[in-house]
Each structure stands twice: as structure tokens, then as C-alpha cells.
Structure 1
Amino acid sequence: MGGFYQGKGGKGGAAAAAAAPAAPAAEGGDGLPGGLKRKLQALGYPELGSVSLSGQAYMKVILWLEEEKIRLYEKIDRAPLRKFDKSWYEAVSKYAKELGVPADGLTEKAMNVKLNVLNGLTNLAVHDIYRDEDEANQLQNAVPQGSQGTQAAKQRLGELLPSLNSILQIFSLPQLPQDAQDTDILAGLKCVLVRVSPTSADEPTLDLQKLPLGVDVADPEVRKAVAVLRLLHGLELQQLQVNINTVINELQQLTANPQTDSRLGRVGR
């Protein structure tokens, strides 16, 4: 049997792409890692709930990727992929190799090979869709979903700005602009805390004159300013590291193959 999906016409010249090995972990007993299922979901596979590495469920998803997304063959040339018989794996092995996806040893029982072939074809389909949208300028000025909401969520101290500026003025300290971010407002609050509750002699203090600057500064006042700038830069680098760790952690969750320890900021085992 065959012909489960109606093709939309041929599209030759599909770019060959090397397939990255899929994660071996299985989810829900169907043998597909979560990252691969999410990619199929993003592509709009209509039978995601029954997708599997076994039997016709596997054959149908391979056929769907070719007829609906990749379209390496003309419609008439896809006949061997629609015939779900003993020769199907041989036809798919030839088809995958034409796309640059390793398919040696592809059989019904070779689960690892089947997984890698499906993962490679899925990656190629995602790549082709991205390339088409990029060429059509549909990705221009694209804003990741939730980024604006995340930025807005970080601005939580804006209501304190008028009162804080009044206090800063009393202490003859520079006032903050109306669009000041939470990090600047927090720094202003710390300045006020130092003026209201000065550090006692028993508590350790930071000597800006002894802070290594990395540059030769003779003027004591300029040295203090450079020291403060280095401290602020260190805080920015710390926040940057936190942001990088968050992005890496989210990317690992998308691939369903986490190898990241976000606490250490390291990638790999």
C-alpha cells in the first residue's frame, strides 16, 4: 500500500546536508527522542501522536518529509517511496544517500540507523524551510517569541525612580534618567545605602586604590573612576555569563540531549 500523502509538486536541487546523530534515548516507547519529535511538530507532521520507528508509522513519516517538505524527487519518481513493501528500505537508503544522509545498513530492525536517517531528513527539511524563508526576507527583523516580555519583566523597579532621584538629589548624587533600567536603579539604591548607613570601621572595605586596573593611571581621582568602571564591567560580565548559561540550557532542552552544567557555564560532559 502507499500514497498516504498528496504531494504538492516537485522541487529539484535539494541541498545535501550531513545528518547529525540523534540522541539514542527513547521517549514513550516509540524510540524517538524529544528533540526529534519537537522538530517534527515544528514542521507540522499531522500524525505526531503515532509517529514511531517501527512498521508503517516510520515509512509514513519518511514519505511525508519528502512529499511535503524536501521534494527532491518529481512526483512520479516518488513511487518507490509510496510502496511499503520489502524494497522500500532499499529505495529509502538510495534516497537518503542522494541527500547526503548516511543510511548504510538501513533495515526494519536497525533502529539506530532508522533513527539517524529520520533525524537527518528532518534536519534537512528544517534547513530548507529556513533557507526559503530567509531568501524571501520573511526572517528579517524577526523577534523571538517572549523576548519582549522577558525584557519587560526585568524592569520591575521603575516605580522607585522618582523617589530615588529625590534622595540622590539630597545627597548631591547624579540623578538617573527616566528610562533607567533596573540595574541602574539598583546601583542608585546601593549608593543611597552607603550614604545612609556608612560602613563601620570593623567591617571590611574596598580600597579602590589597591584594586588592580590593568592600566597605568597616575592621578588618584582618575584611578578611582577607572576602578569603579572595572567593577561595573565585572558586574556586566557576570550578568552576560548568566545570560549565556540560560541560552545554552534552553538550547540543550530543545535538542533533548542536555550536556550542559549551567552552574559552571561549561558545555560538554
Structure 2
Amino acid sequence: MFRRKLTALDYHNPSGFNCKDETEFRNFIVWLEDQKIRHYRIEDRGNLRNIHSAEWPKFFEKYVQDVKCPFQVQDRQETVDWLLGLAVRLEYGDNVERYRNCKPDIVKNQDKATDPLINLDSNSPDFKAGVMALANLLQIQRHDDYLVMLKAVRILIQERLTSEAIAKASAAKEGLPVSLDKHILGFDTGDATLNEAAKILRLLHIEELRDLQTRINEAIVAVQSIIADPKTDHRLGKVGR
């Protein structure tokens, strides 16, 4: 699954690379950092280069965090693919002139391509890495089906992050004045001041409950929007093709 990116990076064994082989994997990470990514200064790469150290996994985990990879080191294939994608982008940046004459294919009949996602490959590692990065950024629960996660990202952005939603959330809330004299507390503390304070606390609590119910309703609507999709088989938790 990594062959194309490894070939683009001139890796010495793109077809035979095995990320499950621990020694080969560690040597590969060192090569990737030394030759392509170069996130650390040369003098700071010693821990990563010491592939025989028992603490190497700890140094690798820190490296993954330092380059801001959205995956955990336990997700080795996803992590490797993301690092390769980063290396390819950096390689292109370092060799702009080399690729300047490589013109992308022009899509014929562009007026027919009304859907920008029509050719989206949902099985692409790049697609999965991008969806996972968005989900992590927006703190969305991970799901086995990346299309379902993408739907959740879309719903959250529409409901919370559009300019209209942000403006609405930022607007000052102005409520109607409430007369405490007309509000029945239901019990008597024996102190008029405490009674007034208890009434205020009760009104604030009611407002919090209303806000909580609104959030619950929004969550229910979001879930229904996903499972109501005719292409979605919610019994399997997968999107039909």
C-alpha cells in the first residue's frame, strides 16, 4: 500500500518494504527523517537513530507528536502512510523546478463535473488520514467507516462552524425580565434573603436544563441525519455502495 509513495521518494526497496518488521521499520523512520522530512536538527536525531535502544518506541512516539501526526503510534500503517504523505509534500517543495513541467491532466467536459467529490476514493489512505485528522481536530468519536465520520464532520461544521452559526452563538442572549415575587419557590427557608437567592438558583437551573435538552435534541438530529441516509445500513454501521 506504500509502494507508490516510496517509489516517489526513491526508497531503495519500495516493493518489499515491511513495516511490521521492527528493525526494518526503525531504519525506515531514520531514513525518512534524515533524507526527506528533516524536522529535527541533525544533532537532535541521535535518539531516533539509536534503533537498538529499548527506549526507541518512546522517542518515536515523541517524534510522531512533534510532526503533528494525527494518528497514534499503535496505528502503525496509518502513521507510516501519513509520514510518507508529509515526506512527499516536502519533497515536492524542495524540488519545485523538477515538477514544474508535470502538468496535471485536464478534466474534459468540466461543466458535467458538478459534484467535486464525484471521483473521491473513500478507500484511499490519504482520504482516511484527512478524515481522521478532521475528526481528531473537532473531537468527533472515531468510527470504523470513514464515510460516516465524514458525515459527522459535515453536520458539526454546518451546525457549529458556519459564519451564521458562529454569529448566532456569539450574540448576547437577552431574556424577558422575571418577577421573583410571582415565582413560587415551593418551600420556605425561614429567611427572606435566602428565599430570594433560592428562587434565582432555581431559575438558573431551569435554564441550564433547557440548554442541555437543546444539545440532546441536536445530537439526536445529527444521528438521524446519518442513519436516515438511504445509502446507510445502520445495522451494519457501514455505508452501502
TM range (shorter): 0.3 to 0.5
- TM-score normalised by L of structure 2: 0.43
- Structure number with greater CO (CA < 8 Å, separation at least 6) is 1
Identify, as 1 or 2, the structure richer in helix.
Answer: 2
Whichever of the two has the greater Rg, that structure is 1
